[in-house]
């Protein structure tokens, strides 16, 4: 990404931006090739995957050169073709000798006129050398020079672009991010071909030195949010970053909350759409899940497919999704409260049927609900951890068998099995798995309030949840916006979705620059056909 080389170099060259490391002086390279090679071997413990090839270049081979790369991380073909073959030239030839005398340095001559590889950069210290070497780049050292060259030869095997596993759609792109950072940035570049899509990369983690990239659209993203993202990433001081979940916990606004305040997705189209709204993407090398900030509550209930179907269909599905949230959160607690304290709310025939089912049940409704909910959660977790070929079968069959056996044994009532099963099905409508986990957690304290105080306890729990949600911020943006604070013009993409031609503006609290999506919305609006004029 050459258009962002300045931003990358600024972020990568500042030692204070690399996971909180102190700006200490690093050891410089030695002018002796043997001393440099010996130090590299000792520092890396003579690791067998570090390949060191020493050759002589020039007509008589008097100039000693070492080519060093990591087996498995560097592309061997690129090293052989673009470095070894091109550098082993006859320096004593007439035209070559003239160009060498003009440059005055064999190392500069190699960098400017000999190496036929695209990415080449100078290195002058061992920290930079080791980082480049362990990142898949090939190192070129010459005897008599206290600096070297790092050539871009990264070529490790990756999973490639495949279909999303967690966010499947019926209509829409079938590509997902991979574990390779450069592949992920290329997928976003393919979606947004705008020079204002800027990329900044820094290394975080004293041991892992994981590449973490910040991506945003300059002119649309809020400058304050972008600067806050930079600041929080630079404050991270930890030895390892192995997945984007590490970054999520370290940069979120509020630590003790069950609600996710950082959005993540493995779909490039979802991240591209969020970038176009003025949000900031955080990409971590080694994981296919990209983080998005700021993340609003409504974002976790929106699916990519909502924007690929007609507005009326998407609105209906979205309303059903919100209904599923209500059922998944309050289903068991409402059943416990009504059957325990408020039987008069039920129709007489239903009340008689429930009483007949509960005849002989030794436990109150709350204990029934706890047993069934815990059993289902254990089965669901077991299905996730077991091999994929039998995991789903175990979770489904296990639930049916245990539920039927519990009813026949008189441990729980059939109505309770129906309530728990309906709640479990409703919990699968969440597009974001992180929000589904939150609903699963909150279900149990709400059942405790229901058995203690009835519907009054549930109402108290609802108010406590709403007050907590209103107190949350995500990078300075209210978590419940555009509901609290109320922004009517931003409700065109919340409970319902207006047609694309009607969504003319971006969310105001996120993108405070370049608010308009469409400069001439009247032209985009479908026009009725004009009646044809009769011919004279």
Q: Which two tokens stand for residue 477?
A: 């943006």
**pLDDT score of 45 more than 50:** yes
- What is the rounded distance in angstroms from the CA atom of residue 177 to the CA atom of residue 288? 5
Query: What does the pLDDT read at residue 521?
Result: 55
Beta strand residue intervals within 163-246, DSSP E: 197-204, 210-217
Residue pLDDT, tens place only, 249-289:
999 987 789 999 999 999 999 999 999 999 999 999 999 99
| Percent of the chain topping pLDDT 90 | 36
Phi and psi angles of residue 481, each rounded to the nearest 5 degrees, phi first: -65, 145
Residue with the bigger pLDDT between 47 and 57: it is: 47
CA of 216: how far to CAs of 181, 194, 293, 436, 493, in Å? Answer: 16, 11, 10, 28, 22
Per-residue pLDDT band for 530 (boundaries 50, 70, 90) equals low
In 252-364, alpha helices (H):
268-276, 311-341, 348-357
Q: What is the pLDDT of residue 457?
A: 95
Distance separating alpha carbons of residues 179 and 128, to the nearest angstrom: 24
Residue 209 Ramachandran class (φ > 0 left, ψ -120 to 50 alpha, else beta): left
DSSP secondary structure letter of residue 528: P
Q: Which two tokens stand for residue 274?
A: 């969020």
The pLDDT score that the predictor gives to residue 406 is: 82
- The verdict on whether omega for the bond into residue 363 sits within 30 degrees of 0, i.e. cis, is no
- Report pLDDT digits (tens) over 109-126: 777 777 777 788 889 899
Strand order in the sheet with 210-217: 197-204, 210-217, 280-284, 290-293, 263-265
Distance CA 265, CA 435 (A): 13
Residue 372 has pLDDT above 70, yes or no: yes
Q: 154 with 74: CB under 8 angstroms?
A: yes
How far apart are the C-alpha atoms of 213 and 160, rounded to whole Å? 19
Average pLDDT of the segment spanning 417-445:
90
């Amino acid at each position: 990404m050459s258009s962002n080389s300045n931003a990358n170099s600024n972020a990568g060259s500042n030692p204070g931006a690399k996971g909180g490391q102190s700006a200490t002086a690093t050891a410089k390279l030695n002018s002796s090739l043997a001393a440099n090679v010996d130090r590299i071997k000792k520092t890396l413990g003579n690791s067998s995957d570090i390949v060191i090839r020493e050759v002589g270049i020039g007509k008589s081979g008097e100039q000693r050169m070492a080519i060093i790369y990591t087996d498995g991380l560097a592309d061997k073909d690129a090293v052989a073709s673009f470095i070894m073959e091109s550098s082993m030239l006859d320096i004593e030839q007439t035209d070559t000798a003239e160009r060498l005398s003009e440059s005055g340095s064999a190392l500069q001559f190699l960098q400017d006129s000999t190496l036929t590889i695209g990415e080449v950069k100078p290195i002058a210290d061992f920290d930079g050398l080791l980082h480049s070497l362990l990142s898949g780049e090939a190192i070129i050292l010459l005897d008599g020079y206290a600096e070297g060259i790092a050539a871009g030869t990264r070529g490790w095997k990756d999973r490639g672009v495949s279909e999303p596993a967690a966010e499947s759609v019926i209509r829409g792109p079938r590509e997902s991010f991979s574990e390779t950072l450069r592949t992920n940035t290329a997928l976003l570049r393919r979606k947004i071909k705008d020079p204002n899509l800027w990329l900044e990369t820094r290394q975080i983690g004293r041991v892992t030195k994981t590449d973490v990239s910040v991506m945003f659209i300059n002119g649309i993203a809020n400058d304050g949010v972008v600067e806050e993202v930079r600041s929080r990433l630079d404050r991270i001081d930890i030895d390892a970053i192995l997945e984007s979940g590490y970054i999520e916990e370290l940069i979120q606004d509020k630590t003790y909350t069950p609600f996710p305040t950082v959005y993540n997705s493995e779909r490039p189209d979802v991240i591209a759409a969020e970038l176009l709204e003025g949000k900031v993407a955080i990409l971590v090398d080694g994981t296919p899940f990209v983080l998005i900030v700021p993340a609003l509550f409504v974002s976790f209930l929106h699916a990519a497919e909502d924007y690929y179907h007609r507005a009326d269909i998407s609105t209906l599905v979205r309303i059903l999704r919100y209904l599923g949230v209500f059922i998944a959160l309050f289903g068991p607690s409402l059943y416990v409260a009504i059957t325990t304290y408020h039987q008069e709310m039920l129709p007489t025939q239903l009340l008689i049927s429930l009483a007949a089912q509960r005849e002989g049940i030794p436990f109150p409704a709350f204990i029934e609900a706890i047993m069934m909910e815990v059993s289902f959660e254990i089965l669901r977790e077991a299905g996730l951890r077991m091999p994929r070929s039998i995991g789903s079968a175990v979770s489904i069959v296990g639930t049916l068998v245990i539920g039927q056996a519990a009813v026949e044994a008189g441990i729980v009532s059939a109505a309770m099995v129906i309530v728990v099963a309906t709640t479990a099905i409703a919990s699968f409508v969440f597009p974001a798995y992180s929000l589904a986990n939150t609903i699963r957690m909150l279900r149990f304290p709400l059942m405790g309030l229901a058995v203690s105080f009835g519907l009054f306890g549930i109402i108290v729990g609802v108010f406590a949840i709403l007050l907590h949600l209103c107190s949350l911020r995500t990078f300075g943006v209210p978590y419940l916006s555009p509901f609290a604070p109320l922004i009517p013009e931003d409700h065109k993409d919340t409970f319902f979705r207006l047609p694309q031609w009607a969504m003319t503006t971006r969310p105001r609290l996120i993108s405070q620059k370049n608010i308009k999506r469409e400069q001439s919305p009247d032209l985009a609006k479908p026009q009725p056909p004009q009646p044809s004029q009769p011919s004279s």
